[in-house]
């Protein structure tokens, strides 16, 4: 079944696309699902990550069904939430957002939750929640100012990207590194594989394409 079924990613995130490519998977279609990501009052960070990933999957699946492609596709959605205790940090869109996040993270531990949701071609919904714990070093005023000036924080949950400059801020990481980037690869491929989407044939396909001579 896996060789015949498509994989649709309910996201336009370059990070998630790159992570899937790292695992030898090239999404057949990107289908971003714009939803309201505002937390419900007193909502736990882990509950938010799981709820938002499901909401993204459900919205994208509506479109896929309208297009008549649902029966031929696996649909994957994910949402990543950064928190200090029960406090949920925003996706930094302004300098103030990023500054507030980084000042809070400096010298402290925080948690990163990613909710994964998969719709199978049969219409079944499967979910996983992955948690990583990260500790930041104490940031100097100069480090904070220069990181803010880099702009790398923009659009990132918690105001940082571990795969970039902020990787040098990490004192300790317990759990999945790719989870902190935005898509835990082990859990994602295990979830897809458990539902019949075999990743490995795509490795061979990719190797054959790479071996083709340039025209």
Q: Nearest-CA neighbor of 103 among 149, 133, 135, 139?
A: 139
Task: Answer yes or no: are the C-beta atoms of 54 and 117 closer than 8 Å.
Answer: yes
* Alpha-carbon gap, residue 127 to 214, rounded angstroms: 41
Q: What separation in angstroms does the CA of 142 have from each of 43, 108, 154, 165, 208?
A: 35, 18, 19, 14, 49
Active site includes 79? yes
* Alpha-carbon gap, residue 25 to 61, rounded angstroms: 20
CB atoms within 10 A of CB 81: 28
User: Choosing from 28, 36, 79, 208, which is the catalytic residue?
Assistant: 79
Beta bridge partners of 81: 113
Q: Which helix (H) or strand (E) holds 196?
A: none
Which active-site residues does the annotation give? Answer: 79
């Amino acid at each position: 079944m896996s060789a015949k079924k498509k994989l649709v990613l309910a996201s336009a995130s370059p990070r998630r696309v790159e992570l899937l490519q790292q695992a030898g998977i090239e999404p057949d279609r990107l289908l971003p699902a714009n939803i309201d990501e505002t937390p419900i009052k007193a909502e736990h960070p882990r509950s938010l990550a799981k709820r938002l990933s499901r909401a993204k999957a459900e919205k994208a699946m509506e479109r896929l069904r309208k297009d008549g492609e649902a029966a031929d596709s696996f649909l994957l959605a994910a949402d990543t939430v950064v928190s200090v205790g029960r406090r949920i940090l925003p996706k930094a869109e302004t300098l103030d957002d990023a500054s507030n996040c980084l000042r809070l993270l400096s010298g402290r531990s925080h948690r990163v939750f990613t909710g994964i949701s998969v719709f199978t071609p049969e219409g079944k919904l499967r979910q996983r929640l992955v948690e990583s714990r990260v500790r930041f070093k104490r940031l100097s005023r100069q480090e904070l100012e220069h990181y803010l000036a880099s702009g790398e924080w923009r659009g990132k949950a918690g105001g940082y990207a571990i795969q970039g400059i902020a990787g040098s801020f990490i004192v300790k990481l317990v759990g999945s590194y790719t989870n902190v980037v935005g898509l835990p690869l082990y859990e994602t491929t295990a979830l897809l594989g458990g539902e019949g989407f075999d990743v490995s044939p795509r490795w061979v396909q990719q190797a054959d394409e790479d071996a083709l001579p340039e025209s």
